[in-house]
A and B are shown apart, each in its own frame.
Chain A
Amino acid sequence: MQTAISVGIDATLITFSLALAAFGLAIIYGLVGVINLGHGAMLTLGAYLTWYAVESGAPFFVAVLFAAVGVGLIGLVFEHLVIRHFYHRPFDTLLLTWGFFLISTELIKIIFGTSFRSVPSPFPSAIQTPFYDVPAYKAFVAGITVVLLLATALVLLKTPIGIKIRALIQNREMASLLGLNIAATYKLVFGFGCFMAGLAGGLLAPMLSIDPYIGNDFLIRSFFVVIVGGIGQILGGTLLGSFFIGGSETILAVVSSQVVAQVAVFFIAILILRFRPQGIFGEK
């Protein structure tokens, strides 16, 4: 019983941190159709910028915001210089964002070095429950994730800019004919996705020992989250996919080793991608 509860709590916490990590990717892929292979590098960059700001004496949350804005701006520059010319060639954007990954990973190594860094957790204690001590910071991140997802849902569904973005996805030509500035909207969405990646990197930083490759781990899992959850299902899909990938990995890790669990989950994700490319609950 006790194990079941602790595994359940672990799985829930991992679901939310994975959803946070995948969110920026889901936004960019779901809304502008770019498979951002630079997403992992953006998470890493967010973590490093947070570390840098904290080291320079900034309070943790200021540092995270700094990282998110920094990665968002870098993403905007990359979009402006490169990506915006290739929206009509999705496969090339995939390769170009991979180039972004190569460049930013090397820049991180040059600027920050390759040794492990760590960011002290702002809430190092644990919440005591009768069965299990819940790490306070992880619980906090889960809460933030829920707030971010709901806020984004609100923006997409209720505000003028959200309506414009949805109009653009539904019918690009028509939206353009009605006077919607497509280039600016794409830029906004791409920048927001990068901002989210930076934010996720910053928020996840205290849970990780930071090295230039931490993003790699998240990259593939984030993609499987998005694919399993269903593309374009930015909110529910992300949560569902995260629950599936993160949750099943946690549960499988209890009965076997971590490596076997990860390999098994990758296999299952590939099976889903093969048989239900629209996501588990997506409609054709």
Chain B
Amino acid sequence: MRAKFANTLHGERAVALVVFALLAFLPGVIGGYPIYILPQYLLFGALAMSLGLLWGWVGIVSFGQAAFFAIGAYGMGLVMQAGLGGWGGYLGIVCGVLAGASLAAIAGYFLFTAGVKSTYFVLVTLALSIIVEQLAVSQSGITGGYNGLFVDRMALALGPLGNIPLTGDVASYYAVLVVVPILYFGLKALTQSSFGKILVGIRENEDRMTALGYNVSLYKSAAFMLSGALAGIAGALYATHAGFVSPSLAGVTFSTEVVVWVAIGGRLSLLGALAGGVIVSALSNYLSSISPQYWQLALGFIFILVIMFSRDGIAGAFAAMANGISRWSRKERQLSEPYRKDSRG
């Protein structure tokens, strides 16, 4: 039944396109704080996609995505401090991506070649984020320790055409709104390529894929590396946008928040993960000013309920609805099975 679910989500790209287009018009309608803060939520959404790729397509969960995010953020921060002028921002992004990707590649290859169980993978990645946080705190000569690192907004260097500084909120809003859709559509294309199909094969039956001659651990490591790179670029852009990096970006709390976003948004859909990241982090920020603890408590309950009853989160619910409507309109009700009756397990 997973295939049917995936079919329904073919409309996902259209939905995403509409949402991104609407977001592009937003600065014309409102200004001020929402335009300042929305790019950060979008970058959290990109971070959520980095986990969504792993969880949905490889069937493994990392509790350490924040580690890659933080490494990307520190990479950007340190490069920006080096004072390289207009090109510093690009270099920061490259450094962030490389740092996230290489850490994930090393950790992934190291663990997957030994066939480490998915449960142990969770523990190791959790430890990874603790290690990164501890190092960020203790190496205060480089990272600023608890006080963190202040980061300037980057500029878009256009070579002979000069530099466009992204210090204005609207300018950096559009910069992020270009990057995040590219990441989304790129990732989406990747999941539908043969690479994505091999990953799904591994998720469904690892032994069979091994028997078919695929180097399973290499594919898993590649997916994890990609996920680390994505988290790294999100972190790098977050650093230059928020203007501040601190060790808590790598912390256990933040790491596991990402898991909650993706679980709620929907682990079998990249758009679901993206939306989960944006909506839940936005709500968290908004409700934290009203009632932080009760909101976190509610999130905990929602998380448990989603894991217990709805593997596909919000995206799954939407897909089921879309499925239901199309089925009803085609009057195929007597021919089709109940939606996803057997997909649990």
Contacts from A to B (Cβ < 8 Å): 35, 37, 82, 85-86, 89-92, 94-96, 98-100, 102-103, 106-107, 109-110, 216, 220, 223-224, 227, 257, 259-260, 262-263, 266-267, 269-270, 273-275, 277
- Cβ of A92: which chain B residues have Cβ within 8 Å of it? 307
Q: Please indicate the chain B residues that have their CB under 8 angstroms from the CB of A94 in the complex.
A: 119, 122
Q: A223 and B123 in contact (CB under 8 A), knowing A266-B131, A274-B110, A274-B116?
A: yes
Contact of B138 among A99, A259, A277 (CB under 8 A): A259
The answer to whether A99 touches B304 (Cβ under 8 A) is yes
Identify the interface centre among A90, A103, A267: most chain B CB within 10 Å of its CB. A103
Contacts of B303 in A (CB 8 A): 95, 98-99, 102
Quick check: A103 and B300 within 8 Å, CB to CB?
Answer: yes
Chain A neighbourhood of B249, CB < 8 A:
none
Please measure, in the bound complex, the distance between the C-alpha atom of A270 and the C-alpha atom of B127, giving whole angstroms: 9
Note all chain A residues with C-beta closer than 8 A to B127: 220, 224, 266, 269-270
B271 is an interface residue with CB less than 8 A from chain A: no
Answer whether residue B328 sits at the interface, using C-beta atoms and an 8 A cutoff: no
Question: Once the chains are docked, how many angstroms separate the CA of A99 from the CA of B260?
Answer: 9
The contact of B116 among A98, A259, A277, by CB within 8 Å, is: A277
User: How far, in angstroms, from A106 to B124 measured CA to CA in the complex?
Assistant: 25
Contact A99 B307 (CB under 8 A): yes
Q: A259–B137 contact, CB under 8 A?
A: yes
Q: Choose the segment among B163-171, B182-190, B289-297, B335-343 that binds chain A (4+ C-beta atoms closer than 8 Å).
A: B289-297
Rounded to whole angstroms, the CA-CA distance of A269 and B259 in the bound complex is 24
User: Do A220 and B123 touch across chains, with their CB atoms under 8 A apart?
Assistant: yes
User: Which residue of chain A is the closest to B296 with respect to CB atoms?
Assistant: A106
Does B111 interact with chain A (Cβ within 8 Å)?
yes
Tell me the complex Cα distance, A59–B81, Å: 57
Among A85, A220, A275, the one with the most B-chain Cβ atoms within 10 Å of its Cβ is A220
With A95-B307, A106-B293, A259-B137 given, can you name 16 additional A-B contacts, CB distance below 8 Å? A35-B123, A82-B308, A90-B119, A91-B119, A98-B256, A98-B259, A98-B303, A102-B296, A103-B301, A110-B293, A110-B294, A224-B127, A259-B138, A260-B138, A274-B114, A274-B116
Residue in B123, B134, B294, B299 whose beta carbon sits within 8 Å of that of A263 in the complex: B134
How close is B296's CB to chain A, nearest CB, in angstroms?
A: 5
| B304 contacts A96, C-beta separation under 8 Å | yes
Find out whether the CB atom of A220 lies under 8 angstroms from the CB atom of B130: yes
- A96 engages B307 (CB within 8 Å): yes
Are B116 and A110 closer than 8 Å at their CB atoms?
A: no
Measured CB to CB, the nearest residue on chain B to A95 is B307
Residues of A within 8 A of B259 (CB): 95, 98
Q: Which residues of B contact A263 (CB under 8 A)?
A: 131, 134-135
**How far apart are the CA atoms of A100 and B300 in the complex, in Å?**
7
> Chain B residue with minimal CB distance to A264?
B131
**A270 CA / B26 CA spacing, docked (Å):** 47
User: B155: shortest Cβ distance to chain A, in Å?
Assistant: 36
B295 nearest in chain A by CB position: A106
With a cutoff of 8 Å between Cβ atoms, the chain A residues found around residue B268 in the complex are none
Minimum Cβ distance to chain A for residue B173 (Å): 32
- A273-B120 contact given A103-B300, A263-B135, CB 8 Å threshold: yes
A-B pairs with lowest CB-CB distance, top 10: A102-B300, A99-B304, A103-B300, A106-B297, A259-B138, A106-B296, A99-B303, A95-B307, A110-B293, A266-B127
B97 close to A (CB within 8 Å): no
Distance in angstroms from A152 CB to nearest chain B CB is 24
Which single residue of chain B is at the shortest CB-CB distance from A111? B293
Interface residues of B in 53-98 (CB under 8 A from A): 61
Q: For the complex, is B118 an interface residue (Cβ under 8 Å from A)?
A: yes
Q: With both chains docked as a complex, state the minimum distance between the C-beta of B270 and any C-beta of chain A, in angstroms.
A: 20
Residue of A nearest to B107 (CB): A270
Chain A residues with CB under 8 Å of B256's CB are 98, 102
Distance A218 CA – B212 CA, assembled complex (angstroms): 42
24 A–B contact pairs at CB < 8 A?
Answer: A35-B123, A37-B122, A95-B307, A96-B304, A99-B307, A102-B299, A102-B303, A106-B294, A106-B296, A106-B297, A107-B297, A110-B294, A216-B252, A220-B127, A223-B123, A224-B123, A224-B127, A227-B120, A259-B134, A259-B135, A260-B138, A263-B135, A266-B130, A273-B123
